[in-house]
Structure 1
Amino acid sequence: MLSILPILRIIITIAGLYAAASIAAVLYGMDYGNFSDVVSKAKIAFAGTTGLGLSLTFIVIVAWRWIWWLVPPLNRWIFPDLNGTWDMEIHWHNAEGKSGKIAALAHIKQTILTISMEVTSPGSESETLIAQAQKDKNSGRAQLYYVFNVFPNNTNPGSGPPYQGAAILKLSNSASDEISGNYWTSAKTSGHYFLRKQHS
């Protein structure tokens, strides 16, 4: 979501403007002949700036999901909250012409700054290397660019070593709980992911 909403820059800008305004107000109203007045007002300005920074940090880390829940259009205007467990279908084919379908579970963890997806299937597990959430510049459709490591379970001699892959996933235009897209791997396999979110 960082590419959608450059939140760190927003926090730094707001905190910086608040600090500058506080310092200006303190300097303007300060009784320079009274040292205790100078110290007292400096403490107030510092406390206000610190409190604002902590409040904004809390919103970024924790409260953003409450805000998204209270204001559902934010899922369209900025980026959807994808946190949760997703049922996943992996449609695959390899260089030898073999193909098939595997059922898996995807666990998406998202903050307002980061997003990751771990996938567990009967034969392997994967972890995120890089994930970038953004919106299509033309359609505004939510997308997830995802690079990952796959670790085979090695339950048989042909399991092979770990390998890397990449996928471009897009949120469905018709359903906010469906994601799909194509993937490719360094093991010379490719295919299609289809995910549907579990609802508790």
Structure 2
Amino acid sequence: MYNALNAKSIATMILWSFVVPIVLVLWLGGLPDSLWSLIRLVGLAVSLYLALLFAIFGTSHYWSPWRVIWRFVPALNHWIYPDLNGIWFGSTQSNWPVVRELREAAAGGGGCDLSALSEVELLRGEIALNVRASFFSISIRSRVGQTNADSFSTFAVAEKCGCGPDFTISYIYTQEVPQPQSSDEATHIGAAILEVTPCSPPVMEGHYWTRRKWREGMNTAGLIGVERLSDMHAGPTQNLLEFAKRLKDRPIWE
């Protein structure tokens, strides 16, 4: 989430947070009386600073100090960046029916009415996300209902923008389909850009793209809309979709 901070804010945070270990080291060890003592003091202060930085901001569990602060001061979700940790559940809307119609028209040789493609109803499905976020990293695991496919983010970045949506999260993921159909691949990559609205409960909405069978023109795109059901994480072996549906049994789009 540090990406959401501008350079001035990061520099200010580093400067002022470094004062604490310096003062603590001086209080415990006193002023240095030689160059070697000064080097040792600086090294100790840096080590202590890095340890405190990781302890406060480097974890994503429920009782992580920064998450506790965010719960006591909810305005930080607007001032800095929302705490995205937890279980999210909602819907996808895929353009697969449009892709299928184009392929069927090409196979039949009769053509199709291009102006009517925008009227083709999108394919709706369910999706659940498990987001783990610290100040230094974000990981997203998801499961979709139509294919029981699991995906894992390989890259994710949170941003705070002065123009357009205040908060966004962009990520690249790898998706694994346990029983791929003729239109699927066992493994493919995709990407998503979501706008984050830190309301109560928080909501993320945006678009996704896949590289599924792109050479055959079967790569898809669509919409994602999810809301957070819980700020706790699911276990690594839990069925994410079933767990989320037990928390809430309806999609965002009805």
Give the TM-score normalised by structure 2: 0.62
- 1:97-130 CA-to-partner distances (Å, cap 9, x unmatched) read 4841111211111111111211112311111011
CA contact 1:75–1:81 (8 Å) conserved in 2:
yes
* Residue in structure 2 matched with residue 2 of structure 1 by the alignment: 2
Tell me which of 191, 194, 198 is aligned to 2:225: 194
Distance in 1 between residues matched to 2:205 and 2:174, nearest whole Å: 19
Alignment partner, residue 26 of structure 1: 31
1:133 and 2:158 aligned: yes
Question: Equivalences for 1:1-200 in 2 at 5 Å?
Answer: 1-5=1-5, 10-11=13-14, 14-15=17-18, 26-27=31-32, 30=33, 50-61=47-58, 62-94=64-96, 95-97=99-101, 99-122=122-145, 123=147, 124-139=149-164, 141-154=166-179, 156=181, 158-172=183-197, 176-187=201-212, 188-199=219-230
Flag the structure with higher helix content: 2
Q: What CA distance in whole angstroms lies between the structure 2 residues aligned with 1:169 and 1:11?
A: 29
| Runs of 5+ unmatched residues, structure 2 | 59-63, 102-119, 213-218, 231-246, 248-254
C-alpha distance in structure 1 between counterparts of 2:87 and 2:183, whole Å: 29
Paired residues of 2:127 and 2:143 also in contact (CA < 8 A) = yes
Q: Name the amino acid aligned to 2:100.
A: E
Q: How many residues align?
A: 189
Identical residues among aligned pairs (%): 21
* Deviation of 1:57 (Å): 2.4
Q: Which structure ranks higher in relative contact order (CA pairs < 8 Å, sequence separation ≥ 6)?
A: 2
